[in-house]
Structure 1
Amino acid sequence: MRHNMVKENVKQDNYKVFSLVSNYLNNAPDYVEKEEIEELVQGGISYEYAFSIILAAAFGLDIVDNTADRELFNQYFLQMIHHLDGGTYSSNLYYKNIKLPTIKIGNSELKYEKYKPFEAFVCDDIIQTKEGRQIPQIGFFDREFIYPAVLERNRIWMTVTPNEIETIQEAVDQAFGHVLTYGLGLGYYAYMVSEKERVKTVTIVEKNEDVIQLFKQYILPQFDNAEKITIIKADAFEFAEEKMPMNNYDFVFTDLWHDVSDGLDMYLRMKEFEKNCPGTVFMYWIEQSITCYL
Protein backbone atom coordinates (compact mmCIF):
# COMPACT_ATOMS: atom_id res chain seq x y z
CA MET A 1 0.00 0.00 0.00
CA ARG A 2 2.75 2.45 0.98
CA HIS A 3 4.71 1.55 -2.19
CA ASN A 4 1.66 2.35 -4.32
CA MET A 5 1.19 5.64 -2.53
CA VAL A 6 4.83 6.64 -3.11
CA LYS A 7 4.53 5.63 -6.77
CA GLU A 8 1.40 7.73 -7.18
CA ASN A 9 3.06 10.73 -5.48
CA VAL A 10 6.04 10.46 -7.83
CA LYS A 11 3.67 10.26 -10.79
CA GLN A 12 1.89 13.40 -9.63
CA ASP A 13 5.21 15.20 -9.14
CA ASN A 14 6.29 14.22 -12.66
CA TYR A 15 3.05 15.53 -14.09
CA LYS A 16 3.31 18.79 -12.16
CA VAL A 17 6.91 19.47 -13.22
CA PHE A 18 6.27 18.58 -16.86
CA SER A 19 3.19 20.78 -16.95
CA LEU A 20 5.07 23.75 -15.47
CA VAL A 21 8.12 23.30 -17.70
CA SER A 22 6.09 22.76 -20.85
CA ASN A 23 4.06 25.90 -20.26
CA TYR A 24 7.25 27.86 -19.58
CA LEU A 25 9.10 26.65 -22.68
CA ASN A 26 6.11 27.17 -24.95
CA ASN A 27 5.09 30.59 -23.70
CA ALA A 28 7.99 32.40 -22.02
CA PRO A 29 11.37 30.65 -22.51
CA ASP A 30 13.17 33.99 -22.14
CA TYR A 31 11.47 34.84 -18.84
CA VAL A 32 14.70 34.72 -16.79
CA GLU A 33 16.64 37.96 -17.25
CA LYS A 34 20.38 38.52 -17.12
CA GLU A 35 20.17 41.26 -14.48
CA GLU A 36 18.34 38.99 -12.02
CA ILE A 37 20.83 36.18 -12.56
CA GLU A 38 23.89 38.40 -12.21
CA GLU A 39 22.60 39.89 -8.97
CA LEU A 40 22.17 36.45 -7.42
CA VAL A 41 25.48 35.15 -8.75
CA GLN A 42 27.29 38.05 -7.10
CA GLY A 43 26.05 36.62 -3.82
CA GLY A 44 28.18 33.54 -4.39
CA ILE A 45 25.80 31.00 -5.98
CA SER A 46 26.13 29.36 -9.40
CA TYR A 47 24.35 30.43 -12.56
CA GLU A 48 22.41 27.15 -12.48
CA TYR A 49 21.20 27.60 -8.91
CA ALA A 50 20.30 31.24 -9.54
CA PHE A 51 18.34 30.25 -12.64
CA SER A 52 16.62 27.46 -10.69
CA ILE A 53 15.38 29.62 -7.83
CA ILE A 54 14.14 32.34 -10.19
CA LEU A 55 12.25 29.71 -12.17
CA ALA A 56 10.84 28.09 -9.03
CA ALA A 57 9.51 31.45 -7.86
CA ALA A 58 7.96 32.05 -11.30
CA PHE A 59 6.22 28.69 -10.97
CA GLY A 60 4.76 29.79 -7.64
CA LEU A 61 6.89 27.45 -5.51
CA ASP A 62 7.85 28.57 -2.00
CA ILE A 63 11.13 26.72 -1.44
CA VAL A 64 11.87 28.53 1.82
CA ASP A 65 8.77 27.94 3.95
CA ASN A 66 6.86 25.19 2.16
CA THR A 67 8.34 21.73 2.76
CA ALA A 68 6.60 20.07 -0.19
CA ASP A 69 7.76 22.78 -2.59
CA ARG A 70 11.31 22.59 -1.24
CA GLU A 71 11.38 18.81 -1.72
CA LEU A 72 10.07 19.15 -5.28
CA PHE A 73 12.78 21.72 -5.97
CA ASN A 74 15.53 19.49 -4.58
CA GLN A 75 14.28 16.37 -6.36
CA TYR A 76 13.88 17.98 -9.80
CA PHE A 77 15.40 21.41 -10.28
CA LEU A 78 18.91 20.57 -9.07
CA GLN A 79 19.20 17.88 -11.78
CA MET A 80 17.13 19.73 -14.38
CA ILE A 81 18.83 23.08 -15.05
CA HIS A 82 22.15 23.29 -16.93
CA HIS A 83 24.41 26.27 -17.69
CA LEU A 84 25.92 25.35 -21.05
CA ASP A 85 29.23 26.44 -22.55
CA GLY A 86 28.74 27.84 -26.05
CA GLY A 87 32.36 27.18 -26.94
CA THR A 88 31.93 23.45 -26.37
CA TYR A 89 29.21 23.26 -29.01
CA SER A 90 30.81 25.73 -31.41
CA SER A 91 33.83 23.40 -31.58
CA ASN A 92 31.63 20.52 -32.77
CA LEU A 93 32.83 19.28 -36.19
CA TYR A 94 29.56 20.12 -37.94
CA TYR A 95 29.46 23.65 -36.53
CA LYS A 96 33.10 24.21 -37.47
CA ASN A 97 33.04 22.78 -40.99
CA ILE A 98 29.53 23.23 -42.37
CA LYS A 99 28.50 26.79 -43.29
CA LEU A 100 24.92 27.39 -44.36
CA PRO A 101 23.50 30.14 -46.57
CA THR A 102 20.10 31.70 -45.96
CA ILE A 103 18.03 30.26 -48.78
CA LYS A 104 14.43 29.21 -49.49
CA ILE A 105 13.26 26.35 -51.69
CA GLY A 106 9.52 25.69 -51.92
CA ASN A 107 8.03 25.78 -48.44
CA SER A 108 11.40 25.07 -46.80
CA GLU A 109 13.80 27.77 -45.63
CA LEU A 110 17.40 27.27 -44.54
CA LYS A 111 18.64 29.88 -42.07
CA TYR A 112 20.28 30.54 -38.71
CA GLU A 113 18.20 30.98 -35.56
CA LYS A 114 19.44 31.97 -32.10
CA TYR A 115 18.98 31.48 -28.41
CA LYS A 116 19.07 34.70 -26.43
CA PRO A 117 21.18 34.87 -23.26
CA PHE A 118 19.39 32.86 -20.53
CA GLU A 119 16.67 31.66 -22.89
CA ALA A 120 15.70 28.13 -21.87
CA PHE A 121 15.45 25.08 -24.12
CA VAL A 122 15.40 21.30 -23.88
CA CYS A 123 19.05 20.21 -23.95
CA ASP A 124 19.04 16.41 -23.55
CA ASP A 125 16.94 13.29 -22.98
CA ILE A 126 14.72 12.98 -19.93
CA ILE A 127 16.49 11.44 -16.93
CA GLN A 128 14.53 8.71 -15.14
CA THR A 129 15.54 7.99 -11.55
CA LYS A 130 15.32 4.64 -9.75
CA GLU A 131 12.16 5.76 -7.96
CA GLY A 132 10.54 6.73 -11.27
CA ARG A 133 11.03 10.48 -11.26
CA GLN A 134 11.23 11.82 -14.80
CA ILE A 135 13.43 14.89 -14.92
CA PRO A 136 13.42 17.04 -18.07
CA GLN A 137 16.79 18.50 -19.04
CA ILE A 138 16.72 22.28 -19.54
CA GLY A 139 19.72 24.28 -20.69
CA PHE A 140 20.65 27.92 -21.18
CA PHE A 141 23.64 29.95 -22.37
CA ASP A 142 24.85 33.15 -20.74
CA ARG A 143 25.36 34.75 -24.16
CA GLU A 144 23.70 34.58 -27.55
CA PHE A 145 24.05 31.24 -29.33
CA ILE A 146 23.40 30.83 -33.07
CA TYR A 147 22.36 27.51 -34.62
CA PRO A 148 21.27 26.28 -38.08
CA ALA A 149 17.64 25.48 -38.77
CA VAL A 150 15.17 24.50 -41.48
CA LEU A 151 11.79 26.20 -41.31
CA GLU A 152 8.75 24.58 -42.91
CA ARG A 153 6.02 27.14 -43.64
CA ASN A 154 7.75 29.54 -41.21
CA ARG A 155 7.76 26.95 -38.40
CA ILE A 156 11.03 25.56 -37.09
CA TRP A 157 11.11 21.92 -38.11
CA MET A 158 14.74 20.80 -38.17
CA THR A 159 17.67 22.18 -36.21
CA VAL A 160 21.19 21.41 -35.05
CA THR A 161 21.09 22.54 -31.43
CA PRO A 162 22.79 21.28 -28.26
CA ASN A 163 19.78 19.00 -27.78
CA GLU A 164 20.30 17.32 -31.15
CA ILE A 165 24.03 17.05 -30.56
CA GLU A 166 23.62 15.42 -27.14
CA THR A 167 20.73 13.12 -28.01
CA ILE A 168 22.33 11.91 -31.26
CA GLN A 169 25.85 11.38 -29.89
CA GLU A 170 25.39 7.78 -28.78
CA ALA A 171 24.07 6.82 -32.23
CA VAL A 172 27.13 8.51 -33.75
CA ASP A 173 29.47 6.64 -31.42
CA GLN A 174 27.85 3.25 -32.09
CA ALA A 175 27.56 3.49 -35.89
CA PHE A 176 29.65 1.14 -38.02
CA GLY A 177 29.78 -0.52 -41.42
CA HIS A 178 26.87 0.16 -43.76
CA VAL A 179 24.65 2.71 -42.01
CA LEU A 180 21.00 3.50 -42.81
CA THR A 181 19.32 6.57 -41.36
CA TYR A 182 15.67 7.56 -41.63
CA GLY A 183 15.30 11.35 -41.76
CA LEU A 184 17.76 13.79 -43.32
CA GLY A 185 17.24 17.06 -41.48
CA LEU A 186 20.30 19.26 -41.92
CA GLY A 187 22.52 16.24 -42.46
CA TYR A 188 24.06 16.42 -38.98
CA TYR A 189 23.91 12.69 -38.31
CA ALA A 190 25.03 11.79 -41.84
CA TYR A 191 27.99 14.16 -41.58
CA MET A 192 29.13 12.98 -38.16
CA VAL A 193 29.04 9.27 -39.04
CA SER A 194 30.60 9.83 -42.48
CA GLU A 195 33.66 11.19 -40.65
CA LYS A 196 34.19 7.83 -38.94
CA GLU A 197 36.66 5.42 -40.51
CA ARG A 198 34.66 2.36 -39.50
CA VAL A 199 31.58 3.66 -41.35
CA LYS A 200 31.73 2.51 -44.99
CA THR A 201 28.48 3.94 -46.41
CA VAL A 202 25.62 6.13 -45.22
CA THR A 203 22.20 5.69 -46.83
CA ILE A 204 19.63 8.39 -46.02
CA VAL A 205 15.89 7.86 -46.54
CA GLU A 206 13.97 11.15 -46.82
CA LYS A 207 10.64 11.91 -48.50
CA ASN A 208 10.73 15.74 -48.51
CA GLU A 209 12.07 16.82 -51.90
CA ASP A 210 12.71 20.42 -50.75
CA VAL A 211 14.88 19.21 -47.86
CA ILE A 212 16.77 16.86 -50.19
CA GLN A 213 17.49 19.66 -52.64
CA LEU A 214 18.65 22.04 -49.89
CA PHE A 215 20.99 19.35 -48.62
CA LYS A 216 22.37 18.31 -52.01
CA GLN A 217 23.00 21.83 -53.20
CA TYR A 218 24.28 23.59 -50.11
CA ILE A 219 25.38 21.07 -47.47
CA LEU A 220 26.58 17.83 -49.07
CA PRO A 221 29.33 19.56 -51.15
CA GLN A 222 30.97 20.54 -47.84
CA PHE A 223 31.29 16.91 -46.67
CA ASP A 224 34.85 15.60 -46.74
CA ASN A 225 33.47 12.09 -47.33
CA ALA A 226 30.55 12.88 -49.62
CA GLU A 227 31.26 9.72 -51.61
CA LYS A 228 29.92 7.67 -48.68
CA ILE A 229 26.48 9.31 -48.92
CA THR A 230 23.45 7.97 -50.82
CA ILE A 231 20.05 9.70 -50.58
CA ILE A 232 16.85 7.78 -51.34
CA LYS A 233 13.60 9.71 -51.72
CA ALA A 234 11.03 7.42 -50.12
CA ASP A 235 8.58 7.01 -47.28
CA ALA A 236 10.49 5.66 -44.29
CA PHE A 237 7.95 3.02 -43.29
CA GLU A 238 7.49 1.72 -46.81
CA PHE A 239 11.26 1.48 -47.21
CA ALA A 240 11.64 -0.25 -43.85
CA GLU A 241 9.07 -2.86 -44.80
CA GLU A 242 10.00 -3.46 -48.43
CA LYS A 243 13.68 -2.55 -48.93
CA MET A 244 15.54 -2.57 -45.62
CA PRO A 245 15.63 -6.38 -45.14
CA MET A 246 17.16 -6.85 -48.60
CA ASN A 247 20.21 -4.63 -48.04
CA ASN A 248 22.03 -6.05 -45.00
CA TYR A 249 22.60 -2.77 -43.18
CA ASP A 250 24.84 -3.02 -40.13
CA PHE A 251 23.40 -0.07 -38.23
CA VAL A 252 20.07 1.79 -38.51
CA PHE A 253 19.26 5.12 -36.87
CA THR A 254 15.74 6.57 -37.01
CA ASP A 255 15.13 10.30 -36.54
CA LEU A 256 11.71 11.06 -38.02
CA TRP A 257 9.87 12.91 -35.29
CA HIS A 258 9.87 16.43 -33.96
CA ASP A 259 9.62 15.49 -30.27
CA VAL A 260 8.06 12.94 -27.93
CA SER A 261 4.51 14.10 -28.66
CA ASP A 262 4.61 13.03 -32.31
CA GLY A 263 7.30 10.38 -31.91
CA LEU A 264 5.71 7.65 -29.79
CA ASP A 265 3.49 6.10 -32.48
CA MET A 266 6.20 6.29 -35.15
CA TYR A 267 8.76 4.81 -32.78
CA LEU A 268 6.52 1.83 -31.98
CA ARG A 269 5.71 1.34 -35.66
CA MET A 270 9.37 1.38 -36.71
CA LYS A 271 10.35 -1.02 -33.91
CA GLU A 272 8.14 -3.66 -35.54
CA PHE A 273 10.51 -3.88 -38.50
CA GLU A 274 13.51 -4.87 -36.38
CA LYS A 275 12.51 -8.54 -36.47
CA ASN A 276 13.07 -8.57 -40.24
CA CYS A 277 16.76 -7.64 -39.80
CA PRO A 278 18.12 -9.83 -36.97
CA GLY A 279 21.77 -8.99 -37.64
CA THR A 280 21.28 -5.21 -37.59
CA VAL A 281 21.81 -2.79 -34.69
CA PHE A 282 18.92 -0.31 -34.30
CA MET A 283 18.87 3.01 -32.44
CA TYR A 284 16.24 5.74 -32.24
CA TRP A 285 16.40 9.47 -31.59
CA ILE A 286 15.29 10.47 -28.04
CA GLU A 287 14.39 6.84 -27.30
CA GLN A 288 15.08 7.38 -23.61
CA SER A 289 12.50 10.17 -23.46
CA ILE A 290 9.95 8.29 -25.58
CA THR A 291 10.09 5.15 -23.44
CA CYS A 292 9.17 7.21 -20.37
CA TYR A 293 5.66 7.33 -21.86
CA LEU A 294 5.28 3.60 -22.44
Structure 2
Amino acid sequence: MENHEIVSDKIKQDNYKVFALLSHYLNNAPDYIDKEEMDEVINSGVSSEYAFKLILAAAFGLDVVDNAGDKELFNKYFDRMIHKLDANEYYENAYYKNIKIPSIKIGKSELKYEQYKPFEGFVCNDILRTEEGRQIPQIGFFDTEFRFPAVLENDRIWMTITPNEIETMREPIDQAFGHVLTFGLGLGYYAYMVSEKENVESVTIVDLNKDVIELFQTHVLPQFKHAHKINVIQAEAFEFAQEHLSKGKYDFVFTDLWHDVSDGMDMYLKMKEIEKNSHPDTVFTYWIEKSILCYM
Protein backbone atom coordinates (compact mmCIF):
# COMPACT_ATOMS: atom_id res chain seq x y z
CA MET A 1 0.00 0.00 0.00
CA GLU A 2 1.39 3.41 -0.99
CA ASN A 3 2.14 5.96 1.70
CA HIS A 4 -0.69 8.34 0.74
CA GLU A 5 -3.16 5.45 0.97
CA ILE A 6 -1.89 4.61 4.46
CA VAL A 7 -2.30 8.25 5.49
CA SER A 8 -5.79 8.35 3.96
CA ASP A 9 -6.86 5.22 5.83
CA LYS A 10 -5.47 6.64 9.08
CA ILE A 11 -7.44 9.87 8.60
CA LYS A 12 -10.62 7.88 7.92
CA GLN A 13 -10.04 5.93 11.12
CA ASP A 14 -9.50 9.18 13.04
CA ASN A 15 -12.71 10.64 11.55
CA TYR A 16 -14.68 7.57 12.55
CA LYS A 17 -13.26 7.56 16.09
CA VAL A 18 -14.05 11.24 16.68
CA PHE A 19 -17.57 10.89 15.26
CA ALA A 20 -18.25 7.83 17.41
CA LEU A 21 -17.01 9.53 20.59
CA LEU A 22 -19.02 12.69 19.90
CA SER A 23 -22.15 10.77 18.99
CA HIS A 24 -22.11 8.98 22.33
CA TYR A 25 -21.45 12.24 24.18
CA LEU A 26 -24.13 14.32 22.43
CA ASN A 27 -26.77 11.60 22.56
CA ASN A 28 -26.20 10.47 26.13
CA ALA A 29 -24.49 13.14 28.23
CA PRO A 30 -24.21 16.56 26.50
CA ASP A 31 -24.34 18.25 29.93
CA TYR A 32 -21.54 16.08 31.34
CA ILE A 33 -19.22 19.06 31.89
CA ASP A 34 -20.20 21.33 34.80
CA LYS A 35 -19.08 24.68 36.15
CA GLU A 36 -17.21 23.27 39.14
CA GLU A 37 -15.00 21.09 36.95
CA MET A 38 -14.48 23.92 34.47
CA ASP A 39 -13.43 26.34 37.23
CA GLU A 40 -10.93 23.85 38.58
CA VAL A 41 -9.19 23.51 35.21
CA ILE A 42 -9.42 27.24 34.41
CA ASN A 43 -7.67 27.99 37.70
CA SER A 44 -4.62 26.19 36.33
CA GLY A 45 -4.18 29.07 33.89
CA VAL A 46 -5.96 28.02 30.69
CA SER A 47 -8.90 29.58 28.87
CA SER A 48 -12.43 28.27 29.36
CA GLU A 49 -12.48 26.99 25.78
CA TYR A 50 -9.26 25.03 26.27
CA ALA A 51 -10.50 23.75 29.64
CA PHE A 52 -13.61 22.40 27.92
CA LYS A 53 -11.43 20.62 25.35
CA LEU A 54 -9.27 19.03 28.03
CA ILE A 55 -12.21 17.83 30.12
CA LEU A 56 -13.99 16.42 27.08
CA ALA A 57 -10.85 14.65 25.89
CA ALA A 58 -10.42 13.08 29.34
CA ALA A 59 -14.08 12.01 29.31
CA PHE A 60 -13.39 10.29 26.00
CA GLY A 61 -10.55 8.35 27.63
CA LEU A 62 -7.82 10.20 25.73
CA ASP A 63 -4.41 10.67 27.35
CA VAL A 64 -3.23 13.86 25.65
CA VAL A 65 -0.03 14.07 27.72
CA ASP A 66 1.68 10.70 27.53
CA ASN A 67 -0.02 8.93 24.59
CA ALA A 68 1.33 10.17 21.25
CA GLY A 69 -1.68 8.93 19.26
CA ASP A 70 -4.18 10.56 21.58
CA LYS A 71 -2.18 13.78 21.61
CA GLU A 72 -2.13 13.86 17.80
CA LEU A 73 -5.90 13.26 17.65
CA PHE A 74 -6.43 16.07 20.15
CA ASN A 75 -4.25 18.50 18.20
CA LYS A 76 -5.72 17.58 14.81
CA TYR A 77 -9.38 17.83 15.84
CA PHE A 78 -10.14 19.52 19.15
CA ASP A 79 -8.59 22.90 18.40
CA ARG A 80 -10.90 23.43 15.39
CA MET A 81 -13.83 21.46 16.82
CA ILE A 82 -14.74 23.10 20.15
CA HIS A 83 -16.02 26.69 20.32
CA LYS A 84 -17.09 28.87 23.23
CA LEU A 85 -19.98 30.95 21.94
CA ASP A 86 -21.24 34.37 23.01
CA ALA A 87 -24.94 34.20 23.93
CA ASN A 88 -25.41 37.93 23.39
CA GLU A 89 -24.25 37.63 19.78
CA TYR A 90 -27.09 35.22 19.03
CA TYR A 91 -29.67 37.11 21.06
CA GLU A 92 -28.93 40.06 18.75
CA ASN A 93 -30.09 38.00 15.76
CA ALA A 94 -33.02 39.77 14.04
CA TYR A 95 -35.43 36.87 14.54
CA TYR A 96 -34.55 36.56 18.22
CA LYS A 97 -35.01 40.29 18.75
CA ASN A 98 -38.25 40.74 16.81
CA ILE A 99 -40.18 37.46 17.07
CA LYS A 100 -41.59 36.25 20.39
CA ILE A 101 -42.66 32.62 20.65
CA PRO A 102 -45.61 31.78 22.91
CA SER A 103 -45.85 28.47 24.74
CA ILE A 104 -48.81 26.83 23.02
CA LYS A 105 -49.86 23.45 21.65
CA ILE A 106 -52.10 22.51 18.73
CA GLY A 107 -52.72 18.84 18.04
CA LYS A 108 -49.42 16.99 18.25
CA SER A 109 -47.34 20.12 17.61
CA GLU A 110 -46.09 22.51 20.25
CA LEU A 111 -44.31 25.86 20.37
CA LYS A 112 -42.09 26.54 23.35
CA TYR A 113 -38.67 27.62 24.53
CA GLU A 114 -36.01 25.03 25.29
CA GLN A 115 -32.57 25.71 26.77
CA TYR A 116 -28.96 24.66 26.81
CA LYS A 117 -27.42 24.40 30.25
CA PRO A 118 -24.12 26.18 30.97
CA PHE A 119 -21.30 24.12 29.38
CA GLU A 120 -23.73 21.79 27.59
CA GLY A 121 -22.27 20.72 24.25
CA PHE A 122 -24.19 20.88 20.98
CA VAL A 123 -23.58 20.89 17.24
CA CYS A 124 -23.11 24.51 16.20
CA ASN A 125 -22.28 24.43 12.48
CA ASP A 126 -21.65 22.23 9.45
CA ILE A 127 -18.83 19.70 9.57
CA LEU A 128 -15.50 21.26 8.61
CA ARG A 129 -13.67 19.30 5.92
CA THR A 130 -9.92 19.87 5.64
CA GLU A 131 -7.79 19.53 2.51
CA GLU A 132 -6.26 16.32 3.81
CA GLY A 133 -9.70 14.78 4.34
CA ARG A 134 -10.27 15.25 8.04
CA GLN A 135 -13.93 15.79 8.91
CA ILE A 136 -14.16 17.97 12.00
CA PRO A 137 -17.55 18.32 13.69
CA GLN A 138 -18.33 21.76 15.08
CA ILE A 139 -19.30 21.70 18.76
CA GLY A 140 -20.27 24.78 20.72
CA PHE A 141 -21.07 25.63 24.32
CA PHE A 142 -22.16 28.65 26.35
CA ASP A 143 -21.00 29.50 29.87
CA THR A 144 -24.54 30.60 30.76
CA GLU A 145 -27.98 29.13 30.14
CA PHE A 146 -29.16 29.78 26.58
CA ARG A 147 -32.86 29.77 25.66
CA PHE A 148 -34.02 29.06 22.13
CA PRO A 149 -37.37 28.64 20.34
CA ALA A 150 -38.44 25.15 19.36
CA VAL A 151 -41.21 23.24 17.61
CA LEU A 152 -41.98 19.84 19.11
CA GLU A 153 -43.89 17.10 17.32
CA ASN A 154 -45.14 14.22 19.47
CA ASP A 155 -42.98 15.65 22.31
CA ARG A 156 -39.85 15.33 20.17
CA ILE A 157 -37.88 18.42 19.22
CA TRP A 158 -38.27 18.77 15.47
CA MET A 159 -37.22 22.31 14.62
CA THR A 160 -35.19 24.77 16.65
CA ILE A 161 -33.53 28.11 16.17
CA THR A 162 -30.16 27.57 17.78
CA PRO A 163 -26.67 28.71 16.77
CA ASN A 164 -26.55 25.67 14.47
CA GLU A 165 -29.58 26.78 12.46
CA ILE A 166 -28.38 30.37 12.39
CA GLU A 167 -24.88 29.47 11.17
CA THR A 168 -25.91 26.78 8.67
CA MET A 169 -28.54 29.04 7.08
CA ARG A 170 -26.30 32.07 6.59
CA GLU A 171 -25.31 31.17 3.03
CA PRO A 172 -28.77 30.23 1.70
CA ILE A 173 -30.14 33.41 3.28
CA ASP A 174 -27.42 35.57 1.73
CA GLN A 175 -27.90 33.90 -1.66
CA ALA A 176 -31.71 34.11 -1.82
CA PHE A 177 -33.29 36.44 -4.39
CA GLY A 178 -36.46 37.01 -6.37
CA HIS A 179 -39.27 34.55 -5.82
CA VAL A 180 -38.10 32.16 -3.10
CA LEU A 181 -39.51 28.69 -2.39
CA THR A 182 -38.65 26.91 0.84
CA PHE A 183 -39.57 23.33 1.69
CA GLY A 184 -40.09 23.02 5.44
CA LEU A 185 -41.63 25.63 7.74
CA GLY A 186 -40.51 25.00 11.31
CA LEU A 187 -40.62 28.33 13.14
CA GLY A 188 -40.33 30.35 9.95
CA TYR A 189 -36.76 31.44 10.63
CA TYR A 190 -35.57 31.10 7.05
CA ALA A 191 -38.74 32.72 5.68
CA TYR A 192 -38.40 35.64 8.09
CA MET A 193 -34.75 36.30 7.33
CA VAL A 194 -35.12 36.22 3.54
CA SER A 195 -38.34 38.27 3.64
CA GLU A 196 -36.29 41.07 5.20
CA LYS A 197 -34.13 41.27 2.04
CA GLU A 198 -34.98 43.97 -0.51
CA ASN A 199 -34.09 41.70 -3.43
CA VAL A 200 -36.61 39.03 -2.33
CA GLU A 201 -40.05 39.62 -3.82
CA SER A 202 -41.96 36.68 -2.34
CA VAL A 203 -41.44 33.66 -0.10
CA THR A 204 -43.52 30.52 -0.65
CA ILE A 205 -43.37 27.95 2.16
CA VAL A 206 -44.43 24.35 1.55
CA ASP A 207 -45.13 22.17 4.59
CA LEU A 208 -47.38 19.17 5.15
CA ASN A 209 -48.10 19.59 8.87
CA LYS A 210 -51.33 21.56 9.27
CA ASP A 211 -50.80 22.01 13.03
CA VAL A 212 -47.39 23.61 12.52
CA ILE A 213 -48.85 25.82 9.78
CA GLU A 214 -51.66 26.93 12.08
CA LEU A 215 -49.23 27.70 14.90
CA PHE A 216 -47.07 29.72 12.53
CA GLN A 217 -49.89 31.65 10.85
CA THR A 218 -51.62 32.45 14.13
CA HIS A 219 -48.73 33.25 16.46
CA VAL A 220 -45.58 33.91 14.41
CA LEU A 221 -46.41 35.31 10.98
CA PRO A 222 -48.31 38.37 12.32
CA GLN A 223 -44.99 39.51 13.84
CA PHE A 224 -43.25 39.56 10.44
CA LYS A 225 -42.57 43.07 9.18
CA HIS A 226 -42.99 41.83 5.59
CA ALA A 227 -45.75 39.28 6.15
CA HIS A 228 -47.27 40.31 2.81
CA LYS A 229 -44.40 38.51 1.06
CA ILE A 230 -45.24 35.17 2.70
CA ASN A 231 -47.44 32.46 1.19
CA VAL A 232 -47.86 29.13 3.02
CA ILE A 233 -49.00 26.04 1.12
CA GLN A 234 -49.95 22.78 2.81
CA ALA A 235 -48.60 20.07 0.50
CA GLU A 236 -46.23 17.14 0.28
CA ALA A 237 -42.85 18.60 -0.66
CA PHE A 238 -41.77 16.17 -3.37
CA GLU A 239 -45.14 16.11 -5.09
CA PHE A 240 -45.16 19.92 -5.13
CA ALA A 241 -41.58 20.00 -6.41
CA GLN A 242 -42.27 17.56 -9.25
CA GLU A 243 -45.33 19.50 -10.37
CA HIS A 244 -44.09 23.07 -10.11
CA LEU A 245 -40.30 23.34 -10.31
CA SER A 246 -39.97 22.74 -14.03
CA LYS A 247 -42.12 25.81 -14.78
CA GLY A 248 -39.58 28.40 -13.68
CA LYS A 249 -41.92 30.21 -11.31
CA TYR A 250 -39.33 30.24 -8.52
CA ASP A 251 -35.86 31.79 -8.71
CA PHE A 252 -34.41 30.26 -5.56
CA VAL A 253 -35.23 27.04 -3.68
CA PHE A 254 -34.14 26.12 -0.17
CA THR A 255 -34.88 22.63 1.14
CA ASP A 256 -34.98 21.99 4.89
CA LEU A 257 -37.07 18.85 5.40
CA TRP A 258 -34.86 16.82 7.70
CA HIS A 259 -34.00 16.77 11.38
CA ASP A 260 -30.31 16.00 10.90
CA VAL A 261 -27.89 14.15 8.61
CA SER A 262 -29.16 10.71 9.63
CA ASP A 263 -32.66 11.25 8.26
CA GLY A 264 -31.68 13.75 5.58
CA MET A 265 -29.56 11.79 3.11
CA ASP A 266 -32.38 10.02 1.28
CA MET A 267 -34.53 13.15 1.04
CA TYR A 268 -31.53 15.18 -0.09
CA LEU A 269 -30.81 12.73 -2.91
CA LYS A 270 -34.47 12.64 -3.90
CA MET A 271 -34.63 16.43 -4.20
CA LYS A 272 -31.33 16.49 -6.10
CA GLU A 273 -32.95 14.22 -8.71
CA ILE A 274 -35.85 16.64 -9.02
CA GLU A 275 -33.36 19.49 -9.33
CA LYS A 276 -31.89 17.87 -12.45
CA ASN A 277 -35.25 18.10 -14.24
CA SER A 278 -36.18 21.55 -12.98
CA HIS A 279 -35.98 24.90 -14.70
CA PRO A 280 -32.30 25.67 -15.46
CA ASP A 281 -32.53 29.21 -14.08
CA THR A 282 -33.72 28.06 -10.65
CA VAL A 283 -31.01 28.00 -7.94
CA PHE A 284 -31.21 25.16 -5.40
CA THR A 285 -29.72 25.10 -1.91
CA TYR A 286 -30.01 22.56 0.91
CA TRP A 287 -29.81 22.78 4.67
CA ILE A 288 -26.60 21.22 6.14
CA GLU A 289 -25.55 20.06 2.66
CA LYS A 290 -21.85 20.21 3.58
CA SER A 291 -22.42 17.82 6.48
CA ILE A 292 -24.59 15.47 4.40
CA LEU A 293 -21.89 15.24 1.72
CA CYS A 294 -19.38 14.12 4.35
CA TYR A 295 -21.40 10.91 4.75
CA MET A 296 -21.68 10.16 1.03
Length-normalised TM-score, structure 2: 0.98
5+ long unaligned stretches in structure 1? none
Partner of 1:52: 53
Q: Is 1:284 aligned to 2:286, yes or no?
A: yes
Structure 1's consecutive aligned runs of 4 or more residues displaced over 4 angstroms after TM superposition are none
Q: Is the 8 A contact 2:135 2:294 kept in 1?
A: yes
Deviates more, 1:30-39 or 1:54-63: 30-39
1:246 counterpart SS class: coil
Partner of 1:152: 153
Partner of 1:141: 142
Pairwise CA distance, 1:277: 1.6
Q: Is the 8 A contact 2:81 2:139 kept in 1?
A: yes
Partner of 1:165: 166
Distance (whole Å) between structure 2 residues aligned to residue 119 and residue 91 of structure 1: 21
Q: Is 1:195 aligned to 2:196, yes or no?
A: yes
Distance (whole Å) between structure 1 residues aligned to residue 279 and residue 57 of structure 2: 48
Distance (whole Å) between structure 1 residues aligned to residue 20 and residue 58 of structure 2: 15
Deviates more, 1:266-275 or 1:86-95: 266-275
Deviations 1:117-156 (A, max 9, x none): 0000000000011111100000000000000001111111
1:283 counterpart SS class: strand
How many residue pairs get aligned? The number is 294
Partner of 2:247: 246
Matching of residues 58-69 of structure 1 within 5 Å: 58-69=59-70
Pairwise CA distance, 1:45: 1.2
Distance (whole Å) between structure 2 residues aligned to residue 207 and residue 113 of structure 1: 24
RMSD: 0.7
Partner of 1:206: 207
Deviates more, 1:148-157 or 1:39-48: 39-48
Partner of 1:224: 225
Deviations 1:33-84 (A, max 9, x none): 1111122223321111100000000000000000000000000111100000
Length-normalised TM-score, structure 1: 0.99
1:12 counterpart SS class: helix
Matching of residues 1-294 of structure 1 within 5 Å: 1-275=2-276, 276-294=278-296
Distance (whole Å) between structure 2 residues aligned to residue 214 and residue 74 of structure 1: 46
Counterpart residue type for residue 228 of structure 1: K
